[in-house]
Structure 1
């Protein structure tokens, strides 16, 4: 891990050093100095040292400066000043001895070297702060995405067992009544479970797949009731291959049966309409109910509250409205599918 961090730091200071050398080169060109090639080699030799002392200062000395340890901080700063002045001067002398640095008329003195090093500290410091800020923002963004993905997976893990629990309750009712429809209901449940296991692991499915699972669920629910139950499911979809998060619409269908039809004594019904045109989805579910306005506040069960939170994580443009009325309960969901996060 430390080696990876060091490699990243090395690359960063190398690129900043090259940028620093490029600015020095532009300065020489603007001055129109003679012996440009020789001066460029000299500046390259100096840039190697400049990169080294900036790395030492920002990565090792600066983090150790503290008001609580003034003596040590003073010694560290004094050492840095020495390296930035006499050290850079000696580096130039080493280059001359190695025939890498060519002496030119009017050579810079120790003070000039310190001024050059001080300017590099500002240059490296500004770029380093901007770089760290960018990395921090990217890290925060990545953490936010990972947190939302984890929360979304958790909500799905709650919704699927909730869906299965309700379906098993339906089959239990048929089995308790020793209905001949129990085997068929188990077969339909098997089909639904296969869909949940193999089709809902991805982020999206085609809308036509969502239609199939809704049809299967409605057929499974209708096995519990006699001909008095009226169910209608209409859809008008521009492109049945459009992507949709799996089982996103199912909680509203479940609610219509579990909290509406199952509690209705006379003429139970469920009306469902789905339309998707120009990336605008409208899902309308209306069902009978025995509750009346003013009796009690609308209760958001697990399925509905989870759906609302999933919508907040998945889309920026949506609305979910619940409208209770005398003997009727209506839910309308509108989603701009193009506003997916």
Structure 2
């Protein structure tokens, strides 16, 4: 990385020197007849180009890093003016005396200032690009961390369901273990992707609900409705399942009373409307509804769809509502 940066700096400065030389040749082309030969005219332009670039290089590679960047501004200004004056004096005093030195000083002051503007503009662009890359890397790392948190959370809830059926000595337990393995296979495969088809994600939720419905037997009614065209739409994997898990955990699973869970998915144009309503038990156990799953999904929504989602959670007396809208085109 350092070697490439060094090579880029060398090439950039060689390019700047060539450009200044070309500009000097073009600016002096009208007076080429004053010189004995084209070669002497070229040497004149080369001398001016070297002097211009010498002032710029001294400023860029010595004065800025050792004085300006260390906030020694007064010394920096003195040294910049002194270095420009020194180069102007060497260049012009022998031929034109002090008026020539003044004119040459002002010319180099202008060119050095132009070089400084280009230098700070380029450095600012590099810093901005590095900050964007750091933000992107941080965002990716945070999303990976949040996605990895979903895996044990979902597995824990699913194993609880299988354990409950095994204690009841249900003959469906072996089939449900196989069903769980399919769910876990999808989860592991989808976790490697940034997005999955919305159709596949909803099929995953439907299979999870079938597993839970068998475990909860007849004391919970689960409805899952999908309306609209899913074709081509994609979504971040495992983004919706925490809402479903919480509806089961804090609804049917927390009571022996008859309960109900209604989940509806509506697609309008490219907007996903995901609604979950679950009944609440009469006696609410002491628990924190806003657990790891919901906090996780809130954070993921903020990172993945910062300006393209709305999440409204309403805790009513008899039921709990989750209304999520995501624009899947963003």
TM tier, shorter chain? 0.7 to 0.9
User: Taking structure 1 as reference, are residues 249 and 61 closer, same or farther at Cα in structure 2, changes over 3 Å only?
Assistant: same
Give the aligned partner of residue 47 of structure 1. Answer: 49
Structural mapping, 1:166-205, within 5 Å: 166-205=157-196
Q: CA deviation at 1:321?
A: 1.0
Q: CA deviation at 1:23?
A: 5.3
Give the aligned partner of residue 312 of structure 1. Answer: 302
The separation in 1 between residues aligned to 2:50 and 2:254, in whole angstroms, is 80
CA contact (8 A) 1:14 1:51 kept: no
Give the aligned partner of residue 11 of structure 1. Answer: 11
The separation in 2 between residues aligned to 1:26 and 1:260, in whole angstroms, is 82
3-state SS of paired residue (1:281): strand
CA contact (8 A) 2:21 2:45 kept: yes
CA contact (8 A) 1:292 1:324 kept: no
Q: CA deviation at 1:168?
A: 0.8
Structural mapping, 1:1-341, within 5 Å: 1-21=1-21, 24=24, 27=27, 33=31, 42-44=44-46, 46-65=48-67, 80-81=83-84, 84-85=87-88, 88=91, 112-290=103-281, 299-315=289-305, 316-339=307-330
The separation in 1 between residues aligned to 2:59 and 2:264, in whole angstroms, is 67
**More deviation, 185-194/283-292:** 283-292
Superimposed CA distance per residue, residues 86-132 of structure 1 (whole angstroms, 9 cap, x where no aligned partner): 56579xx9xxxxxxxxxxxxxx9555544433222111101101111
Q: CA deviation at 1:162?
A: 0.6
User: Taking structure 1 as reference, are residues 59 and 215 closer, same or farther at Cα in structure 2, changes over 3 Å only?
Assistant: same
The separation in 1 between residues aligned to 2:144 and 2:71, in whole angstroms, is 47
CA contact (8 A) 2:226 2:264 kept: yes
Q: CA deviation at 1:317?
A: 2.4
CA contact (8 A) 2:276 2:321 kept: yes
The separation in 1 between residues aligned to 2:77 and 2:236, in whole angstroms, is 60
Q: CA deviation at 1:2?
A: 3.9
CA contact (8 A) 1:264 1:288 kept: no
3-state SS of paired residue (2:258): coil
The separation in 2 between residues aligned to 1:235 and 1:164, in whole angstroms, is 25
The separation in 2 between residues aligned to 1:197 and 1:68, in whole angstroms, is 53
Superimposed CA distance per residue, residues 234-267 of structure 1 (whole angstroms, 9 cap, x where no aligned partner): 1123233211101111111111111111124332
Q: Where do 5+ consecutive residues of structure 1 fail to align?
A: 94-107
**More deviation, 17-26/45-54:** 17-26
The separation in 2 between residues aligned to 1:54 and 1:330, in whole angstroms, is 66
User: Taking structure 1 as reference, are residues 238 and 41 closer, same or farther at Cα in structure 2, changes over 3 Å only?
Assistant: farther
The separation in 2 between residues aligned to 1:195 and 1:144, in whole angstroms, is 30
Q: CA deviation at 1:59?
A: 1.3
Aligned Cα RMSD in Å?
Answer: 3.6
Aligned residues: 321
